[in-house]
Chain A
Amino acid sequence: MRRIPTLLAWAIIGFLYLPLAVVVAFAFQGSSRLALPFDGPSVRWFATAATDRVVADALLASLRVGLIACTLAVPVAFLTAYALSRYRIRFRGAVSGSALLSVALPPLFLGLSLLTYLSSLGIGPSLDAVALAHAVYVLPYALLAMEARLEKLDPAVEEAARDLGAGPWQTFARVVLPAVWPVALGAGALGFALSFDEFPIALFLAGSDPTLPIAIWSRLRRVIDPSVNAIAATLVGVVGLGVVVGTSLVQIRTLLRGSERGPGA
């Protein structure tokens, strides 16, 4: 009897990972057929992708977007979480809840409203526009992680530092920062993974410089190109690594508890 739930859980996980496994397996397919039988393993499609100028540019574009988005979102998340946990703020719930708007709002509308807004300001689609949009997209996750960390950091420690003569900057550098930076790094890694994977918002804003998912998308609409599998497998690898690093630093449990406070929940 005990076995059945375990089997069921693994079956569900198997279903979840089936598509990713297929793409990664076919990235190592020897022939150009996207069907069985499998003849490999071969890295020829990785070699094809690696010499592709468009893919290299898209990879750089995605790296740049992810880095800018996280550099914006993580410090802002820290300042916000710090203010919420250390100061008497009115409408505290509304402030931290409003960050979740971008999670509950379909990417279609986030992308479209930014596209029309930026173009009315005379800013056309560009990678910087994507980076700004991704900062908004990543912010709630970073905020959840920071709030969870600062809740556990006793304000009395900071007060003690102040009583012992430390100035505000010294308190920040010697007390708050050492406690917070692993979570900041973790939130950054998570945010980077989220941005690296994000497609439906970016499609509206990227213009003529595709990010990696957009490069995959435009290849899907043309002839069958088996190197797509190699590009997609690389993307999955980067995202998976980012998520694993991120969640191990951020502490999965606190993030999960936070997610329950999500909109509608």
Chain B
Amino acid sequence: MRRPILGYALLAPFGLILAGLLLVPAGQFLAYSFLSPVPFGVRFSPTLANYRQVLADPSFWNLFRNSLTVAGMTAVLAVPIGYLLALHLRFSSGRDRVPLLMLTVVAVLGGYLVRLYAWRILLGTNGILASVLSFLGLPLSWPERVLFTRSAVVIALVNAYIPFVAVIAYGSLLDIGDDVLHAARDLGARSAGVFGRVILPLSGRALYGSFAIVFLLTAADYVTPQLLGGAKGVMVGVAIYDQFVRLGNWPLGAAMSVVAVALTGVLVGASWLVLRLAGVLRG
């Protein structure tokens, strides 16, 4: 360890980028929610009117409830599926482990918009799923009924976030050493016991963490509902997007964002507290 002054100097570019492009803009964004609107801008007269307007607007609460429902459904579906994949990646002895891991990692990082668009081809009228189902002699029309509804949004988001969960869960499963598992076996635990008493409790934090991140990120998604949600699947992110891009009321949009983020954060924090007190989550 050497002279710390030089160390701090080396950190300066990082601090500059973080402060200049993340913290200060976020702070200003927060401040905007307390200012008065001019078209696509703000006027410097502080007010709480934006918050009053947001809190009294039933359509905001409607959209926010939609967002929470979609986020909750997505997280509830994506976390167990992603965890199953992670368990296989960590504990399988098969030769397909490495290609599966590679495919999972590539799936996390690529094709956000392309995948959303693909669901239109898959689900649409005369879409591929409908064709395949009718070819198989199953005259099921659910794919066509699903497109432009909340279900389509959830399907696409679950698809996008499974690899994300799998990677986070796999990282935590790597930290459970083989010695721990051998010890459990030597002490007489069967497979189910090893899983229920050792593996699952030790991956609790990662599972909760991935649940929270998936929930927070999907609750604020504004692209998926625009492409796949139709009129029935609108979410609060779309309304915020509209305030900034189409309607040009920045302070109102900023206030909507702050309320939505704060409430989502409080929900996630409260769920953590409940799980912690119930003894499900440790340390």
List, in ascending order, chain B residues with CB within 8 A of A174's CB.
none
Tell me the total A-B contact number using a CB cutoff of 8 A.
Answer: 278
Q: Knowing A80-B10, A243-B109 are in contact, say whether A108-B240 is a contact too (CB < 8 A).
A: yes
Q: Are A240 and B110 in contact (CB under 8 A)?
A: yes
Q: Knowing A112-B257, A204-B245 are in contact, say whether A82-B10 is a contact too (CB < 8 A).
A: yes
A92 → chain B closest CB, angstroms: 10
Q: Are B167 and A87 in contact (CB under 8 A)?
A: no
List, in ascending order, chain B residues with CB within 8 A of A199's CB.
112-113, 223
Q: Are A35 and B1 in contact (CB under 8 A)?
A: no
Contact size class for B? Answer: 35 or more
Q: Are B240 and A112 in contact (CB under 8 A)?
A: yes
Q: Are A16 and B159 in contact (CB under 8 A)?
A: yes
The chain B residue with its CB closest to the CB of A133 is: B21
- The reply to whether the CB of A200 lies closer than 8 angstroms to some CB of chain B is yes
A260: contacting residue among B81, B206, B216, CB under 8 A: B206
Q: Which residues of B from 206 to 238 have beta carbons under 8 Å from A? A: 206, 208-210, 212-213, 216-217, 219-223, 227, 237
- The reply to whether the CB of A49 lies closer than 8 angstroms to some CB of chain B is no
Q: Are A6 and B121 in contact (CB under 8 A)?
A: no
Q: Are B240 and A136 in contact (CB under 8 A)?
A: no
- The reply to whether the CB of A70 lies closer than 8 angstroms to some CB of chain B is no
| CA of A20 to CA of B113, assembled, Å | 10
Enumerate chain A interface residues (CB-CB to B < 8 A).
Answer: 5-6, 8-10, 12-13, 15-20, 22-23, 26, 34-36, 72, 75-77, 79-80, 82-84, 86-89, 95, 98-99, 101-102, 104-110, 112-120, 132-133, 135-136, 139, 190, 193-194, 197-200, 203-204, 213, 216-217, 220, 228, 232, 235-236, 239-240, 243-244, 247, 252-253, 256-260, 262-265
A sample of 29 inter-chain contacts (CB < 8 A) reads A6-B96, A16-B103, A18-B118, A19-B114, A19-B115, A23-B115, A36-B131, A79-B14, A80-B14, A83-B7, A87-B1, A88-B2, A95-B14, A106-B217, A108-B237, A109-B26, A112-B244, A116-B254, A117-B29, A119-B41, A136-B17, A197-B110, A228-B117, A232-B117, A236-B111, A243-B105, A256-B174, A263-B209, A265-B172
